[in-house]
Amino acid sequence: MIGTEPKPFEEVQDALGENERLVLVGCGGCAAVCHTGGEPEVAALGEKLAGIGKRVLAAVVPERTCYIHRTRESLDGIADALGEADVALVLGCGGAVQTVRQVTEERGLVMPVLAALNSMGHMDTLIPDGLWMERCSSCGNCMLNETGGICPVTLCAKGLVNGPCGGTRDDGTCEADPEKDCAWQLIYERLKALGQLDNLRRIRPPKRWGRMNRPRRIVRDPQPDPVAEPDR
């Protein structure tokens, strides 16, 4: 899941400038889970924008805005409003913004497509009461099988892959961030419980950071979308 948080309203207002007529595009996926771009948040932002004299011509919340076919379908339903709008304001991650931008270009529309949210990265752990945590950096060369299912690349403040730096505090917290546990202390305790402490004796080669170069892609044979298949 891509974590998002709202931009300050003043920043959104500044980005809109003198543009008055707009459409709002939320996201029923990650942004809805984060309570930043679902239907309630889209409606609330629309009211706030109306309060400063903006005209929201239409608002949609695609199932997942990064799925371009879903976004095309949603924007099809507001085609007239989209054609009249000065700008599209997206309550989704950066990928959602760029997907909406691509769809407007496909329609021959030359209009700003703006972000109402800040993307905070890949949040892979959801905890009740509104806590989203990043525990995986998507490095492209996973070492969790060697570290007891705890990722030092993400959880270690220094991203060390061959054990702790020597700055672990007596209480097991990190010298760089005393509010966090030392990742390698956690790994040690986990491997000890699993009877796999010999894993700590292995010297791991430097990470192949090139696998994190962006933009990244995964290419596979396209599969039919079962939703798009005709009823049989």
As a whole number of angstroms, the distance between CA 183 and CA 156 comes to 5
| DSSP letters spanning 10-24 | HHHHHHHTT--EEEE
3-class secondary-structure state, position 77: coil
Residue 113 and residue 35: Cα distance in Å, rounded? 21
Query: Would you say residue 232 has pLDDT above 60?
Result: no
Query: Could you read off the pLDDT of 39-77 as tens digits, one per residue?
Result: 999 999 999 999 999 999 999 999 999 999 999 999 999
Closest CA to 199 of 187, 211, 185: 187
Exposure string for 153-170, b = 16+ CB within 10 A, e = fewer: bbbbeeeebeebeeebee
* Helix or strand (DSSP H, E) at 33: helix 30-33
Q: Read off the pLDDT of each residue in 70-98 and give the average, rounded to a whole number.
A: 95
| Full-model pTM | 0.78
Q: Can you say whether the dihedral through the CA atoms of 159, 163, 166, 169 is positive or negative?
A: positive
Confidence of residue 206 (pLDDT cuts 50, 70, 90): confident
How would residue 218 be classed by pLDDT, with cut points 50, 70 and 90? Answer: confident
pLDDT band at 204; cut points 50, 70, 90: confident
Could you give the percent of the chain with pLDDT greater than 70? 93
Tokens of 86: 């000065």
Per residue in 95-126, pLDDT (tens digit) is 999 999 999 999 999 899 999 999 887 776 76
pLDDT greater at residue 134 or residue 44: 44
pLDDT of 231: 42
Domains of the chain: 2-122 (3.40.50.2300), 135-212 (no CATH)
Q: Answer yes or no: are the C-beta atoms of 37 and 27 closer than 8 Å.
A: yes
Structure tokens at 127: 């905890």
Neighbours of 192 (CB within 10 A): 12
Does 164 or 132 have the greater pLDDT score? 164
State the amino acid at position 183 in one-letter form.
A
Q: What is the C-alpha separation between 16 and 88, in angstroms, rounded? A: 9
Residue 217 pLDDT: 76
